[in-house]
Structure 1
């Protein structure tokens, strides 16, 4: 599954809605999660579930609910946007794990548990892309 931040049209958005309503399988989540240096406990925290529940999803190849699926896709879209802005996944991941002055000395990855945090990070990536760093 490949999504690019810059070319979402109504069809693309409806496709995302359809995917989230059906629920993302653990197998698909696993492919997305491996792009990041996060632990399974980090992911559990971002998805507001226990590590034990996440392990059960893995064991049973269970699908995530709508809200969890939306969060997973939002993080995936953020990843794609970060690659576009920084030119590589490596540079984006360094940024994601580094304290950020523009974000009040917060590590961007610490904001992934909130849709507002993800939105803030998307805005910050746009500012970086346009050369507005603070």
Structure 2
């Protein structure tokens, strides 16, 4: 399921073209020897290519596709992730990439949304990300994604839901 969740997160941010444009080719190993570059790069949790994608800066239009996937405006998304709304809109207008910090928050939101949709279905997953969650102290999951600890707490709660553990 992790592979499909990560693929969905990539789609939420803009698709495979985003991944190919923003990450270096990956060399496949076969029998201990370097092989040809893989044709379909994938990202798994903890994969350092997520780091490369974040450091390179996502295209600003990723915020539009993410906001659309969440059924919210770019303004509401920026506010939820604690990003300066005017800065996000300026990057969109000028076609500038997001900073690594902005990119990281967008990637966190896409990964959480993808996992929630995999577990709960598209509509319920989107709703879960945007609604108050008792297990998270009444916080709204998307508003916790501005910090690494918040992201970990949200992913841990999704893991508990996946395994049927009540919080």
1:44-55 matches, cutoff 5 A: 44-55=78-89
| Corresponding residue number in structure 1 for 2:132 | 99
**Structure of higher RCO (CA pairs closer than 8 Å, 6+ residues apart):** 1
Is the 1:71–1:115 Cα contact (8 Å) retained in structure 2? no
Q: Quick one: structure 1 residues 29 and 109, their matched pair in 2 at CA, closer, same or farther if it must change by over 3 Å? A: closer
Matches of 1:9 and 1:100, distance apart in 2: 23
Matches of 2:132 and 2:45, distance apart in 1: 33
Q: Displacement, 1:47?
A: 4.4
- What is the alpha-carbon root mean square deviation over aligned residues? 2.3
Q: Quick one: structure 1 residues 93 and 18, their matched pair in 2 at CA, closer, same or farther if it must change by over 3 Å? A: same
Unpaired stretches in structure 1, ≥5 consecutive residues = none
Matches of 1:53 and 1:121, distance apart in 2: 26
Matches of 2:143 and 2:64, distance apart in 1: 20
Q: Displacement, 1:77?
A: 0.9
More moved, 42-51 vs 111-120: 42-51
User: Which has the larger helix fraction?
Assistant: 1
Unpaired stretches in structure 2, ≥5 consecutive residues = 10-42
User: Which has the larger strand fraction?
Assistant: 2
Is the 2:78–2:84 Cα contact (8 Å) retained in structure 1? yes
Answer with 1 or 2: which has the greater Rg: 2
Q: TM-score, normalised by structure 2?
A: 0.67
Aligned length: 129
| Corresponding residue number in structure 2 for 1:116 | 149
